[in-house]
Amino acid sequence: MKRIAYLAAYPLLWTLSRLPFWLFYKVSDGVFWVVYHVVGYRRKTVRENLELVFPEKSQKQRDEIQREFYRHMVDMFLEMIKSLHMSDSQLKKRFRITNMEELNQIGKTGKSVLLACGHYASYEWVSALQLHEHPFTSFGVYKKIKNPYFDRLVRRIRKRYETQVVSSTEAIRVIARNQRSGLQGIYAMIADQSPKLQGANFWTDFMGIRVPVFVGTETLARKYDMAVVYLHVEKVKRGHYQATFKPLTTEPQKEAPHVITRRYFDHLEDQIRKEPAFYLWTHKRWKHRHAPMPNRATTF
């Protein structure tokens, strides 16, 4: 059944990826109308998240954010498909990096980098990093898709620009191996997911709500003395983004516990509050907010 679903969808996805951008975004408008008005994909989750995070806003304001979010979400998903046949020059033009020198400066220290991303703006076109000169071998850490055929397609898309793709279950092992061998890597990982409740040992406020968080990025940085950089991505206009590297620390072993993680969430929160429509509101980020914290849990 999974193979049939893939075989049915792939010709449509391939055709979409070949369209010129002007027509590509007209198709995206049509998909948005179906997803938003007909299917109503996770609209209840989005509505609840916006009410939870922005109680001070009017219902009209939240409805406007919701509508703009769905339009952006559909664009971003289809932009990943468009990557199948985008040229290097197209990607570099549409995902502009503003301060490559910041990353290269860290590269001169010989340290590897953990690139902390959020579910914000475009995290699918981070592969553009490989179109710039830098001393790092690039790795993208992702969560496997249950359908193995679509999983292979996503891996293929993300590997097009010579980024090595690593599943979240393999990431620690790969980083450890590379550090032992002296390979200077940069690892792009989305760090705002919600952990399972049985492993919720660390809690902090995210958008003013106390929830469990992952601290794996900070833990790896301390263990292997890796720099941590926040990838600040802004949507300039439809189909165009710009990314800025914002170092959270270059000396992780000298930082107080949880400071790196808190800096990451502060940066992400600031972006969400300024332009809320570009965050992934279908993500059930606050689902554990009413759960009791385990006795062993740490708050910060």
pLDDT in tens, 165-216: 888 889 999 999 999 999 999 999 999 988 888 878 999 999 999 999 999 9
State what percent of residues in the chain have pLDDT above 90.
Answer: 75
For residue 296, being part of any structural domain is answered with no
| Cα separations in angstroms, 77 against 122, 124, 170, 226, 244 | 9, 8, 24, 31, 22
pLDDT greater than 90 at residue 102 = yes
Domain range for residue 179?
A: 2-291
For residue 263, being part of any structural domain is answered with yes
Q: How confident is the model at residue 57 (pLDDT cuts 50, 70, 90)?
A: very high
Quote the number of domains for the chain.
Answer: 1
- Strands 227-237 vs 113-117: parallel, antiparallel or unpaired: parallel
For residue 122, being part of any structural domain is answered with yes
For residue 300, being part of any structural domain is answered with no
Side chain identity at 203, as an amino acid letter?
W
For residue 297, being part of any structural domain is answered with no
For residue 98, being part of any structural domain is answered with yes
For residue 172, being part of any structural domain is answered with yes
What is the Cα–Cα distance from 161 to 129, expressed in whole angstroms? 9
What is the Cα–Cα distance from 154 to 93, expressed in whole angstroms? 22
User: Encoding tokens for residue 259?
Assistant: 């400071």
What is the Cα–Cα distance from 291 to 298, expressed in whole angstroms? 14
For residue 299, being part of any structural domain is answered with no
Q: How confident is the model at residue 134 (pLDDT cuts 50, 70, 90)?
A: very high
pLDDT greater than 80 at residue 37 = yes
pLDDT at 211: 96
What is the Cα–Cα distance from 166 to 147, expressed in whole angstroms? 17
